[in-house]
């Protein structure tokens, strides 16, 4: 693992999306709020029938749930739960998110920290494990009305029907606003382009099914109706989609094809940075325990150049920054990704010719969501959409193919 610290952290947290997976971990049951937004009806029943999510949350049919009708539209939304029995390992935040799936876990954790969610009349913590007889009181303020501002921003539409839009996302463009005043996002462009988008309970993400990092390009699908949004999101959560990325990485991977099966967790000190197992073990056992999320990526080397390689990436899971971390973990970070050990490069870097310019030319991660295969949520037929490479990435590949003499072929067998 390359342990280089990022040279500069983004000012905007929206720049640090799950560029490999797509969907936020909480967003594949009936539509939810964003990390900063509270749904209009936070305590609505979950009719998804998702037994897996119910089991993971530790829901018990014997728990008593009481929803209080507000006296006025501006009054906070309140609910009370009486826990029937203790279940080992049943955390408060996970339980409440499983119980009220329209509320993101981030919002629930925030309300717990603010003391708006109490147990037996007292503030508590997210990790509290509930006991039999515990009384949980919840209060959520009414969200302020908000709609994404339509903006006439050109979009590269690669597929569209009555239910779905597929967009080829450009570099340096955020998928949706992270705050009310933010403009210039894919969501703003979509609001102008189409009058028909899934509204759900998240005003910041009309139609958005999944996300890409600001500096990752490629295919995204957008839902025109709430039903389509929910059905597509469920496919992502259940890993029923097929995602293929391409990336230019530093160096030459040892194997032509391999699987990286390395758990990922949050960095202990750097906000919004994630690390793999080896780093955690060097940080000590306490941190290593946080690496509980499985992360699996298969890669295939398509072309080898002097100092660089073009690889195809097939994420089996969808952790935050997974592809970037995994390629860095095997010491072949993605070009233009200093956050995880890659370098911004010049023409001289690419060609190896001393006379070429050393001015930095490629300064964003060379990662592209090339192909996405889903089941059409209405017709139930396979739907495959592809996106051509962004101009800067295509230019880099053309340069490497012309000037960077390929390294010797590597015929080592795939590691089992």
State the pairing for strand pair 367-375/217-223. Answer: parallel
Average pLDDT value for residue range 249-270: 88
Mean pLDDT across the chain, nearest whole number? 81
Give me the catalytic one of 21, 26, 202, 213: 213
Average pLDDT value for residue range 264-293: 63
**Does the structure show a pLDDT above 60 at 321?**
yes
Does residue 260 or residue 268 have the better pLDDT? Answer: 260
* Percent with pLDDT over 70 in the chain: 76
Average pLDDT value for residue range 84-98: 87
Which pLDDT does position 82 carry in this prediction? 95
Q: Please say if 11 is a catalytic residue.
A: no
pLDDT band at 220 (very low <50, low <70, confident <90, very high): very high
Which pLDDT does position 57 carry in this prediction? 59
Domains and CATH numbers, the chain: 1-26+146-416 (3.30.2350.10), 51-140 (3.10.290.10)
Strand partners, 296: 261
Does residue 271 or residue 76 have the better pLDDT? Answer: 76
Average pLDDT value for residue range 83-109: 86
- Helical spans, DSSP H, in 251-390: 277-283, 285-288, 322-329, 347-351
**Does the structure show a pLDDT above 60 at 415?**
no
Which pLDDT does position 55 carry in this prediction? 53
The pTM (predicted TM-score) of the whole model is 0.69
**Does the structure show a pLDDT above 70 at 139?**
yes
Q: Which residues contact 343 (CB under 8 A, 6 or more apart)?
A: 250, 335, 336, 349
Strand partners, 2: none
Do residues 3 and 325 make contact, with C-beta atoms less than 8 angstroms apart? no
Which pLDDT does position 126 carry in this prediction? 92
**Does the structure show a pLDDT above 50 at 214?**
yes
pLDDT tens column, 332-374: 999 999 999 999 999 999 999 999 999 999 999 999 999 999 9
Which pLDDT does position 143 carry in this prediction? 67
Average pLDDT value for residue range 63-91: 87
pLDDT tens column, 146-202: 678 899 999 999 999 999 999 999 998 998 877 666 788 999 999 999 989 998 666
pLDDT tens column, 101-135: 778 788 899 899 999 999 999 999 999 999 999 99
**Does the structure show a pLDDT above 90 at 100?**
no
CA angle 125, 281, 412 (to 5 degrees): 130
pLDDT tens column, 33-57: 444 555 556 666 554 444 444 555 5
CA atoms within 13 A on the CB side of 35: 11
Q: What is the CA radius of gyration of the chain?
A: 23
Phi-psi domain of 94 (left: phi exceeds 0; alpha: psi -120 through 50; beta: other) = alpha
Which pLDDT does position 347 carry in this prediction? 97
**Does the structure show a pLDDT above 90 at 272?**
no
Which pLDDT does position 54 carry in this prediction? 52
């Amino acid at each position: 693992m390359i342990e280089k610290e990022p040279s500069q952290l983004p000012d905007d947290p929206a720049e640090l999306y799950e560029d490999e997976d797509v969907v936020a971990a909480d967003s594949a049951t009936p539509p939810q709020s964003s990390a900063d937004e509270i749904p209009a009806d936070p305590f609505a029943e979950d009719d998804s029938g998702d037994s897996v999510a119910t089991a993971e949350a530790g829901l018990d049919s014997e728990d008593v749930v009481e929803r209080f009708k507000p006296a006025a539209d501006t009054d906070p939304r309140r609910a009370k739960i009486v826990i029937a029995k203790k279940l080992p390992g049943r955390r408060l935040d996970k339980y409440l998110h499983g119980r009220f799936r329209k509320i993101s876990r981030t919002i629930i954790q925030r309300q717990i920290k603010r003391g708006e969610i109490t147990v037996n009349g007292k503030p508590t913590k997210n990790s509290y494990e509930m006991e039999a007889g515990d009384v949980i009181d919840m209060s959520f303020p009414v969200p302020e009305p908000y709609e994404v501002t339509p903006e006439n921003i050109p979009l590269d539409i690669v597929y569209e029907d009555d239910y779905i839009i597929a967009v080829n996302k450009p570099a340096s463009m955020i998928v949706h606003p992270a705050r009310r005043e933010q403009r210039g996002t894919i969501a703003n462009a979509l609001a102008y382009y189409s009058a028909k988008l899934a509204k759900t309970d998240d005003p910041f993400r009309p139609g958005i099914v999944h996300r890409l990092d600001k500096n990752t390009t490629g295919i995204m699908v957008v839902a025109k109706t709430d039903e389509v949004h929910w059905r597509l999101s469920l496919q992502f959560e259940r890993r029923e989609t097929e995602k293929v990325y391409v990336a230019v990485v530093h160096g030459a991977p040892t194997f032509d094809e391999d699987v990286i099966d390395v758990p990922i967790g949050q960095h202990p000190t750097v906000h919004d940075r994630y690390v793999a197992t080896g780093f955690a073990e060097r940080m000590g056992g306490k941190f290593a325990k946080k690496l509980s999320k499985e992360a699996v990526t298969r890669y295939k080397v398509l072309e080898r150049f002097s100092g660089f390689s073009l690889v195809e990436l097939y994420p089996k899971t969808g952790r935050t920054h997974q592809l970037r971390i995994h390629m860095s973990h095997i010491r072949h970070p993605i070009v233009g990704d200093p956050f995880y050990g890659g370098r911004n490069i010049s023409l001289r870097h690419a060609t190896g010719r001393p006379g070429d310019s050393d001015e930095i030319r490629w300064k964003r991660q060379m990662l592209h969501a090339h192909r996405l295969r889903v089941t059409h949520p209405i017709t139930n037929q396979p739907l495959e959409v592809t996106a051509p490479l962004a101009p800067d990435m295509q230019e880099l590949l053309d340069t490497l193919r012309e000037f960077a003499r390929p390294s010797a072929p590597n015929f080592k067998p795939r590691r089992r």
